[in-house]
Amino acid sequence: MSSVQETIFAIISKEAGIDPGKISLDSTLKDLEIQSLDAVQIIFEIEDRFKITLPDRDPNFDTESVKGLVEAVERLVAEKSDAAAAPSAQG
């Protein structure tokens, strides 16, 4: 389990009051019976924790499933670190 995945599981567990053992990559927020307000709070917490902005209604990002959230965060974090490394590589 990646550290991103562990962190997202912990955020979902805390914000939705769910036992972390009930969360899997195959779960959707709907499966976990997470209300839309809690889902929004989970997204805000993930964005804050990783210092990223998850796209809203972007077909390239699945923010309805746990796996989709993990993949989106990993992708955005990688892009952010690539962008941070790029200027120094040119200099």
Domain range summary for the chain, segments of one domain joined by + = 3-90
Distance between CA 83 and CA 10 in Å, rounded? 27
Q: Spell out the residues 6+ positions from residue 4 whose beta carbon is closer than 8 angstroms to its own.
A: 50, 70, 73, 74, 77
Q: What pLDDT digit, counting tens, does each position of 35-80 carry?
A: 989 999 999 999 999 999 988 777 777 878 999 999 999 999 999 8
Tell the burial category of 22 from Cβ atoms under 10 Å away from its Cβ (0-12, 13-18, 19+): middle
* 21-25, 56-60, 71-75, 84-88, range with the lowest pLDDT: 84-88
Architecture in CATH of 3-90: Orthogonal Bundle (1.10)
Instruction: Specify whether the backbone of 62 is left (phi greater than 0), alpha (psi in -120 to 50) or beta.
Output: beta
Q: What is the DSSP letter of 55?
A: P
